[in-house]
């Protein structure tokens, strides 16, 4: 069997791909890369081709490169970027293996590696029976090694990547980012929010403590990011303002009168106009008074552990709720949205009829997903990256994925 020849597309803003390429070469594989912008160039060392054409020209250009260099495998981060969606489609037509990396389905010590797609596009079945039958075939899972991935490390890499992007108008004039807003606007929003959260930290902690003391029966709505592909591609919502409005209206009409709704902002939400304004407007319109609270910070695990239920679109907070044995409803297309895990009914009924997930199914689901798709490690810090590389290399070099073996009845 010939050694595989990998073609890397865009990765996460970190040294992950350049370190992974070095390990693959040490294992006997060949590695080439396509750079789409100056940030890609800055975060790469090794053979590379530059794509400077219009997006419509990418599939044919890529096919020529694949044939010329005898590419067998495609590796990329995130399957919803426009360049990746086109590349994956053409790669599938040519019979290539496609490996997709993404943030972990379970946090914080994991990231995802799957063939052909992740999240809604994942090949993981949505059949509870399959998980119940498959889990007993697997060896006991070892406890994960904790990884330290500070926001500072992630921010440094992100700034470095986008600083290099200042050369894009000259070197890659046709490149268009998949991000919704320019990086400087994001950074200004992050800074503004960080200052606001720090300034309000003591008041927020007191608010949460007092609110929980008076609202022992509450539902938790953890917000996601408008620009996240989970919202843009895998949900029926236009953004989180629509989610807030729909959930609050349903809560006002259907939830028990003695229950509360706690809405928590996403820690990386850089919007200039906080969703607090949307919450306050809905609170007045629906006469909900102190039954609803909005917070920008807080111990998410503690809030999940005490909640009467978790309402989410498709956030990984849903898996936190399942692990904590809390009732969960997923309003979007979530990997864990299946009977026995999530509430199998409309939101209007969830407020009064929510029941905890089946603990045996939760255990089976977690064990199978961890075994088939998760890598213990991280995407940003040096130690976190190194921790996961051996597993990633082993899975990339194997012609059959762990999930494919499970689907064929093996272990």
User: pLDDT tens-digit profile of 339-371?
Assistant: 999 999 999 999 999 999 999 999 999 999 999
In percent, how much of the chain has pLDDT > 70? 96
- Whether the CB-CB separation of 111 and 69 falls below 8 Å is answered with no
CA distance 372 to 213: 41
Q: At 41, is the pLDDT very low, low, confident or very high (cuts 50, 70, 90)?
A: very high
- Whether the CB-CB separation of 91 and 74 falls below 8 Å is answered with yes
Q: 160-172: per-residue pLDDT in tens?
A: 998 998 999 999 9
Q: 280-324: per-residue pLDDT in tens?
A: 999 999 999 989 999 988 889 989 999 999 999 999 999 999 999
DSSP 97-159: EEEEEEE-SS-SSEEEEEES--GGG--S---HHHHHHHGGGSPPPPPPPP----HHHHHHHHH
Phi, psi (deg, nearest 5) at residue 30 = -105, 145
Helix (H) or strand (E) holding 183: helix 183-214
Query: What is the DSSP secondary structure assignment for residue 292, as one 8-state letter?
Result: E
Rg (C-alpha) for the chain, rounded Å, is: 22
Lowest mean per-residue pLDDT among 37-46, 88-97, 230-239: 230-239
- Residue 184: the pLDDT is 66
- Residue 181: the pLDDT is 66
Beta bridge partners of 339: 342
Listed in sequence order, the residues at least 6 apart from 374 whose beta carbon sits closer than 8 Å to its beta carbon are: 104, 105, 106, 110, 111, 112, 113
Q: At 411, is the pLDDT very low, low, confident or very high (cuts 50, 70, 90)?
A: confident
Q: Is pLDDT of 182 > 70?
A: no
- Residue 199: the pLDDT is 78
Tokens of 20: 């992974």
Q: At 189, is the pLDDT very low, low, confident or very high (cuts 50, 70, 90)?
A: low
Q: What is the pTM of this model?
A: 0.92
Q: 199-229: per-residue pLDDT in tens?
A: 777 777 887 887 777 767 999 999 998 878 8
CA nearest neighbour of 242 among 228, 223, 266: 223
Cα(first)–Cα(last) distance of the chain, in Å? 23
- Whether the CB-CB separation of 82 and 106 falls below 8 Å is answered with no
- Residue 191: the pLDDT is 72
Q: Are strands 97-103 and 73-77 parallel, antiparallel or unpaired?
A: parallel
- Residue 368: the pLDDT is 97
Range 363-384 average pLDDT: 95
Phi, psi (deg, nearest 5) at residue 348 = -55, -30
Q: At 271, is the pLDDT very low, low, confident or very high (cuts 50, 70, 90)?
A: low
- Whether the CB-CB separation of 83 and 54 falls below 8 Å is answered with no
Q: Are strands 110-115 and 73-77 parallel, antiparallel or unpaired?
A: unpaired
Mark 357-372 as b/e (b = at least 16 C-beta within 10 Å). bbeebbebbbbbbbbb
Q: 106-145: per-residue pLDDT in tens?
A: 988 999 999 999 999 999 999 999 999 999 999 988 899 9
Q: At 185, is the pLDDT very low, low, confident or very high (cuts 50, 70, 90)?
A: low
Range 248-263 average pLDDT: 96
List helix spans (H) across 228-358. 229-232, 240-254, 276-286, 300-306, 317-323, 347-353
Question: Between the CA of residue 406 and those of 144, 212, 288, 313, 334, what are the distances in Å?
Answer: 21, 44, 49, 28, 21
Mean pLDDT of all residues belonging to the chain: 92
CA distance 26 to 363: 37
């Amino acid at each position: 069997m010939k050694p595989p020849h990998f073609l890397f597309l865009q990765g996460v803003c970190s040294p992950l791909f350049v370190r992974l390429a070095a390990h693959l070469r040490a294992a006997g594989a060949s590695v080439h890369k396509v750079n789409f912008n100056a940030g890609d160039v800055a975060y790469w060392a090794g053979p590379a081709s530059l794509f400077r054409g219009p997006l419509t020209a990418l599939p044919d250009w890529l096919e020529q490169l694949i044939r010329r260099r005898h590419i067998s495998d495609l590796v990329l981060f995130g399957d919803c970027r426009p360049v990746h969606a086109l590349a994956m489609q053409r790669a599938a037509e040519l019979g290539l293996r496609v490996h997709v990396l993404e943030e972990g389905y379970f946090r914080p010590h994991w990231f995802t590696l799957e063939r052909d797609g992740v999240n809604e596009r994942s090949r993981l079945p949505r059949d509870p029976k399959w998980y119940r039958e498959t889990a007993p075939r697997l060896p006991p899972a070892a406890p994960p090694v904790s990884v330290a991935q500070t926001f500072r490390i992630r921010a440094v890499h992100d700034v470095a990547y986008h600083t290099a992007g200042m050369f894009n108008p000259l070197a890659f004039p046709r490149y268009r980012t998949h991000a919704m807003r320019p990086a400087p606007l994001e950074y200004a929003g992050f800074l503004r929010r960080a200052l606001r959260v720090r300034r309000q930290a003591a008041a927020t902690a007191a608010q949460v403590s007092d609110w929980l003391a008076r609202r022992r029966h509450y539902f938790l709505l953890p917000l996601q990011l408008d620009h996240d592909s989970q919202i843009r591609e895998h949900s029926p919502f236009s953004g989180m303002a629509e989610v807030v409005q729909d959930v609050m209206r349903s809560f006002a009409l259907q939830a028990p009168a003695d229950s509360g709704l706690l809405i928590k902002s996403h820690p990386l939400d850089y919007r200039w106009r906080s969703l607090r304004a949307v919450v306050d407007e809905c609170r007045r319109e629906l006469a909900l008074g102190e039954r609803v609270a909005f917070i920008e910070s807080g111990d998410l695990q503690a809030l999940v552990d005490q909640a009467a239920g978790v309402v989410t679109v498709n956030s990984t907070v849903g898996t936190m709720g399942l692990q904590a044995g809390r009732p969960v409803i997923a309003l979007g297309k979530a990997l864990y949205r299946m009977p026995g895990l999530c509430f199998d009914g409309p939101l209007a009924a969830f407020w009064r009829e929510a029941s905890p997930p089946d603990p045996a199914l939760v255990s089976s689901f977690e064990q199978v997903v961890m075994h088939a798709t998760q890598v213990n490690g991280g995407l940003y810090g040096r130690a976190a990256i190194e921790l996961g590389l051996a597993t990633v290399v082993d899975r990339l070099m194997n012609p059959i994925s762990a999930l494919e073996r499970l689907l064929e009845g093996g272990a």
